[in-house]
C-alpha cells in the first residue's frame, strides 16, 4: 500500500556530482523541522556494495555509523548534525541491499514462480524502503536523497521508483527537487543554463518532472536567468532556487530560507508555512563567525589528502570551536611521512593534536612518533579509536619499556600484543558489517577527567572496531600512570584511557565525532578545544 499520510520530498542531482545534495536536503529538513514538522532524511545509494563499510575512504569518504550499528554514507552525518535526531539503518539503502533482499525472497520462494525483474521487483523493493520511515508514523515529512546523477545507468531503477510513487501519491504528497549546476563561463562572462535544461530533460525521459530546481552557482542568478530556467524546465518561477557557494555549510539553511525554498515546498505539499524557529541555530552561527581567538590543531591520519575521510571529526571540531568561541584551524598531517627526525618541526607549533581512526599498518609508526612527542611535550592529545590504540602502544613501548609492543592487527607476532583482537571477533570471517558496531554503554570511573568532562558516569557512544586494549596488560599499564577510565559494563572492555600528569591526554576506543551536532557539540571535543586554548595561552 502506498503511504499517503506522510509527505515525501525526493532530491535528485543533475549535471555533476558533488553539488551538495546532502547539504541541501539537510538544510531544507532543518527549515521544516524548525517549523514544527517531524522530519527525517534518507539516502539511497546506487552502488552494489551492501553498505559503505567495506569501502576504502579514498573511494567514498568517511563511513558514518548510526546508533543501531549501520555503516552508512557520510551524508547521514550531515543529517544528524543539522537535525540533531539520530538516524538508523532505514536511513541509508544501497542497490546491493535492495538486490540482496529481493534475491533472498526469491530463494525463499516468495515470488511464487514468477520471473524476478528490475521492474516491478527491484523497484517495488525500493518503493518499500522509501516508505519504511514514513509508515513508522514518526515523521510528517521524509526527504529522500537519490545518490549519483540522473542519466547514470545505475540510478534508473531509483528514478523509476520515484516516478511510480509520485504518480501514486499525487503532487500534493510527493515532490521532486532537482539539484543542478549553472556553470559560469569566464570567457563569455555568462552563466549557462543549457546543462540544466538537458539534465531536466533527462529526468523527463524517465517520466519525472522536477517541481523545484536548486541551482548551484558561483554567481547570483539574474531575474532573466531564473525566468529562462522556469520556462525551459517547466517549473514555476518561484521554484527556481539559487544555491550560491557559502563560506560554511551551516549558512545554507538561512540561504534556502531567503530563497523561500521551504515555502515553495510546503505550498505544493499543501502544508501550512510557519516562521521557522532558528534561534539556537543562529546563536551557533554568531559564535562560529565571531571567534575570540584561534587554535591550531593537527589532525594526524593516513587519508588526509581527502577531506571527506575525516568529515565528522572536522565538523565536531567546528562545533567545539563555536562552543568555545574559538576558531579551530586544522592542519592535516600525513602520518606516513612523520618520523623521529621531522616530528618536532611538524608538531611543536600546534596547540593540540588529534590522532585519527584507521585500519591497517600504513602510517602507524608516524602516529606513534607523534603521540610520543605530544605526551612528552605536554601538548593536548585526543586519540580516536586507532588513535587511542596507538597511544596505548606508544605508552607501552616508551614508558613501560615493552619494546615491539603492538596491535596484533599490525604485527601478529608481537611479543606484547597490548592491543588485541576482541574475543567476539575471533570467529568472524566476513568483512562486511561484522565489527563491533553502533552504540554501547560505557561506565566512567568517578574522579576521572572523562567523568568530569561528560559530567555523568554512564554514557552511550558509537563504535566501529575489531581490536581492543588487551586486559592482560591493563594492570601493568595502569601501574605506570596511564589509567583506564571508561569500561563497557558487560564485557569489561576498556573504552577510555587518560594520563593524569598531562594537561589533556585522552584516548577513546569509540567515535565521539559521530554524535556531535550543532545543537549538541560533543563534550570531549569541546573540552579538547578548550585545553588547546589553555595550552596556547600558557605557552
Ligand atoms: N583498526 C582498529 C580496529 O579495528 C581501529 C578501528 C578504527 O579506528 N575505527 O580495532
Contact by Cβ (8 Å): 495, 487: yes
* β-strand pairing of 293-301 with 352-355: parallel
The values of phi and psi at residue 60, to 5°, are: -145, 15
Instruction: Choose the residue to mutate in 356, 382, 386 for probing ligand 1, maximizing ligand atoms within 8 Å of C-beta.
Output: 386
Which atom of ligand 1 is closest in space to residue 387's alpha carbon? 8
Ligand 1 contact, 467 CB (< 6 A): yes
Average pLDDT of the residues in 50-77 = 93
**376 Cα–ligand 1 center, Å:** 25
**356 Cα–ligand 1 center, Å:** 10
Ligand 1 contact, 436 CB (< 6 A): no
Cell of 378: 605536554
Per-residue model confidence (pLDDT) at position 200: 97
Name beta bridge partners: 487.
443, 494
**313 Cα–ligand 1 center, Å:** 15
Sign of the Cα torsion 212, 134, 137, 25 reads negative
Ligand 1 contact, 62 CB (< 6 A): no
Which atom of ligand 1 is closest in space to residue 360's alpha carbon? 1
468 tagged catalytic:
no
> Cα separation of 384 and 374, whole Å?
15
**187 Cα–ligand 1 center, Å:** 49
Catalytic site residue from 369, 385, 394, 522: 385
> Cα separation of 158 and 45, whole Å?
9
Average pLDDT of the residues in 441-448 = 97
Q: 581490536: which residue's cell?
A: 467
**Apex CA 463: angle with CA 457 and CA 469, to 5°?**
80
> Cα separation of 340 and 330, whole Å?
22
Question: Where does residue 465 fall: left (phi above 0), alpha (psi -120 to 50 degrees), or beta otherwise?
Answer: beta
Contact by Cβ (8 Å): 217, 190: no
Output DSSP code: residue 390.
H
Integer CA distances (angstroms), 311 to 45, 218, 308, 316, 363, in order: 18, 23, 5, 9, 19
Ligand 1 contact, 417 CB (< 6 A): no
pLDDT for 15 beyond 90: no
394 tagged catalytic:
no
Tell me the pLDDT band of 13, cut-offs 50, 70 and 90: very high
Ligand 1 contact, 465 CB (< 6 A): yes
Average pLDDT of the residues in 280-290 = 98
Sign of the Cα torsion 411, 412, 415, 417 reads positive
Ligand 1 contact, 359 CB (< 6 A): yes
Higher-confidence position of 243 and 307: 243
Contact by Cβ (8 Å): 432, 70: no
Ligand 1, atom 1: closest residue by C-alpha? 359
Catalytic site residue from 394, 498, 513, 522: 513
- Tens of pLDDT, residue by residue over 378-427, are 999 999 999 999 999 999 999 999 999 999 999 999 999 999 999 899 99
Which atom of ligand 1 is closest in space to residue 359's alpha carbon? 1
The values of phi and psi at residue 212, to 5°, are: -135, 140
Q: What is the pTM of this model?
A: 0.96
What is the percent of the chain with per-residue pLDDT over 90, rounded to a whole number?
95
Task: Give strand ranges (E) for 312-451.
Answer: 326-334, 352-355, 381-384, 406-407, 417-421, 436-444
Output DSSP code: residue 120.
I
Integer CA distances (angstroms), 287 to 30, 320, 519, in order: 19, 11, 13
> Cα separation of 376 and 369, whole Å?
11
Q: What is the mean pLDDT of the chain?
A: 96
Q: Which of 65, 516, 23, 531 is nearest to 314 (CA)?
A: 516
Cell of 39: 522530519
- Tens of pLDDT, residue by residue over 178-206, are 999 999 999 999 999 999 999 999 999 99
Tell me the pLDDT band of 518, cut-offs 50, 70 and 90: very high
Cell of 225: 536567468
Please report which residue ranges of 437-498 form alpha helices under DSSP H. 449-454, 474-479
> Cα separation of 62 and 308, whole Å?
6
- Tens of pLDDT, residue by residue over 42-55, are 999 999 999 999 88
- Tens of pLDDT, residue by residue over 123-181, are 999 999 999 999 999 999 999 999 989 999 999 999 999 999 999 999 999 999 999 99
DSSP, collapsed to helix, strand or coil, labels residue 407 as: strand
Ligand 1 contact, 358 CB (< 6 A): yes
pLDDT for 539 beyond 90: no
Task: Give strand ranges (E) for 190-325.
Answer: 190-191, 212-217, 240-244, 293-301
Question: Where does residue 483 fall: left (phi above 0), alpha (psi -120 to 50 degrees), or beta otherwise?
Answer: beta
Average pLDDT of the residues in 228-254 = 97
- Of the listed ranges 37-41, 91-95, 307-311, the one predicted with least confidence: 307-311
Output DSSP code: residue 121.
I
Per-residue model confidence (pLDDT) at position 354: 98
Q: 570551536: which residue's cell?
A: 321
DSSP, collapsed to helix, strand or coil, labels residue 441 as: strand
Please report which residue ranges of 338-399 form alpha helices under DSSP H. 343-347, 364-376, 386-398
> Cα separation of 70 and 48, whole Å?
16
Task: Give strand ranges (E) for 192-264.
Answer: 212-217, 240-244
What is the percent of the chain with per-residue pLDDT over 70, rounded to a whole number?
100
Ligand 1, atom 6: closest residue by C-alpha? 465
Ligand 1 contact, 127 CB (< 6 A): no
Per-residue model confidence (pLDDT) at position 59: 85
Ligand 1 contact, 53 CB (< 6 A): no
Tell me the pLDDT band of 494, cut-offs 50, 70 and 90: very high
**466 Cα–ligand 1 center, Å:** 6
DSSP, collapsed to helix, strand or coil, labels residue 440 as: strand
- Tens of pLDDT, residue by residue over 71-107, are 999 999 999 999 999 999 999 999 999 999 999 999 9
End-to-end distance of the chain based on CA atoms, in angstroms? Answer: 66
Which atom of ligand 1 is closest in space to residue 356's alpha carbon? 8
Which atom of ligand 1 is closest in space to residue 467's alpha carbon? 10
Ligand 1, atom 8: closest residue by C-alpha? 357
Tell me the pLDDT band of 17, cut-offs 50, 70 and 90: confident
Cell of 229: 530556467
Per-residue model confidence (pLDDT) at position 228: 96
63 tagged catalytic:
no
Query: Cis omega (within 30 of 0) on the bond before 477?
Result: no
> Cα separation of 16 and 318, whole Å?
28
Amino acid at each position: 500500500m502506498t503511504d499517503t499520510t506522510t509527505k515525501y520530498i525526493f532530491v535528485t542531482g543533475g549535471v555533476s556530482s558533488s553539488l551538495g545534495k546532502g547539504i541541501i536536503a539537510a538544510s531544507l529538513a532543518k527549515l521544516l523541522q524548525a517549523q514544527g514538522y517531524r522530519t527525517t532524511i534518507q539516502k539511497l545509494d546506487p552502488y552494489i556494495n551492501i553498505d559503505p563499510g567495506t569501502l576504502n575512504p579514498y573511494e567514498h569518504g568517511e563511513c558514518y555509523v548510526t546508533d543501531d550499528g549501520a555503516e552508512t554514507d557520510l551524508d547521514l552525518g550531515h543529517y544528524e548534525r543539522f537535525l540533531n535526531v539520530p538516524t538508523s539503518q532505514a536511513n541509508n539503502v544501497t542497490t546491493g541491499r535492495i538486490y540482496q533482499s529481493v534475491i533472498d525472497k526469491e530463494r525463499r520462494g516468495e515470488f511464487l514462480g514468477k520471473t524476478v525483474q528490475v521492474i516491478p521487483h527491484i523497484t517495488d523493493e525500493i518503493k518499500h524502503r522509501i516508505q519504511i520511515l514514513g509508515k513508522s508514523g514518526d515523521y510528517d515529512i521524509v526527504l529522500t536523497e537519490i545518490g549519483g546523477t540522473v542519466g547514470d545507468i545505475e540510478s534508473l531503477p531509483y528514478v523509476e521508483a520515484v516516478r511510480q510513487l509520485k504518480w501514486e501519491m499525487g503532487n500534493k504528497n510527493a515532490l521532486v527537487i532537482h539539484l543542478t549546476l549553472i556553470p559560469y563561463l569566464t570567457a563569455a562572462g555568462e552563466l549557462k543554463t543549457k546543462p540544466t535544461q538537458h539534465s531536466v530533460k533527462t529526468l523527463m525521459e524517465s517520466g519525472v518532472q522536477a517541481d523545484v530546481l536548486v541551482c548551484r552557482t558561483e554567481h547570483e542568478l539574474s531575474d532573466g536567468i531564473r525566468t529562462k530556467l522556469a520556462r525551459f524546465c517547466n517549473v514555476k518561477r518561484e521554484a527556481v532556487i539559487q544555491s550560491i557557494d557559502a563560506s560554511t555549510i551551516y549558512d545554507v539553511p538561512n540561504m534556502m530560507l531567503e530563497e523561500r525554498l521551504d515555502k515553495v515546498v510546503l505550498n505544493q505539499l499543501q502544508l501550512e508555512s510557519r516562521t521557522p524557529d532558528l534561534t539556537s541555530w543562529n546563536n551557533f552561527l554568531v559564535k562560529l563567525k565571531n571567534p575570540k581567538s584561534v587554535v591550531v590543531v593537527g589532525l594526524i591520519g593516513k587519508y588526509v589528502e581527502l577531506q571527506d575521510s575525516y568529515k565528522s571529526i572536522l565538523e565536531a571540531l567546528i562545533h567545539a570551536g563555536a562552543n568555545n568561541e574559538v576558531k579551530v584551524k586544522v592542519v592535516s598531517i600525513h602520518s606516513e611521512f612523520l618520523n623521529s627526525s621531522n616530528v618536532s618541526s611538524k608538531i611543536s607549533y600546534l596547540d593540540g593534536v588529534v590522532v585519527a581512526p584507521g585500519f591497517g599498518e600504513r602510517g602507524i609508526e608516524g602516529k606513534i612518533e607523534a603521540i610520543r612527542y605530544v605526551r612528552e611535550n605536554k601538548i593536548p592529545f585526543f586519540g580516536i579509536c586507532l588513535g587511542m590504540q596507538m597511544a596505548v602502544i606508544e605508552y607501552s613501548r616508551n614508558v613501560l619499556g615493552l619494546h615491539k609492543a603492538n596491535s596484533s592487527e599490525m604485527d601478529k607476532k608481537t611479543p606484547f600484543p597490548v592491543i588485541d583482537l576482541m574475543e567476539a571477533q575471533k570467529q568472524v570471517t566476513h568483512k562486511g558489517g561484522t565489527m563491533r558496531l553502533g552504540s554501547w554503554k560505557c561506565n566512567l570511573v568517578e574522579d576521572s577527567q572523562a567523568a568530569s568532562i561528560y559530567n555523568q558516569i554512564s554514557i552511550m557512544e558509537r563504535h566501529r572496531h575489531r581490536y581492543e586494549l588487551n586486559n592482560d596488560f591493563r594492570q601493568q599499564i595502569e601501574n605506570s600512570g596511564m589509567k583506564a577510565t571508561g569500561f563497557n559494563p558487560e564485557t569489561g572492555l576498556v573504552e577510555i584511557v587518560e594520563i593524569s600528569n598531562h594537561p589533556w591526554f585522552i584516548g577513546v576506543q569509540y567515535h565521539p565525532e559521530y554524535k556531535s551536532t550543532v545543537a549538541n557539540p560533543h563534550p570531549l571535543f569541546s573540552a579538547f578545544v578548550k585545553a588547546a586554548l589553555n595550552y596556547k595561552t600558557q605557552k
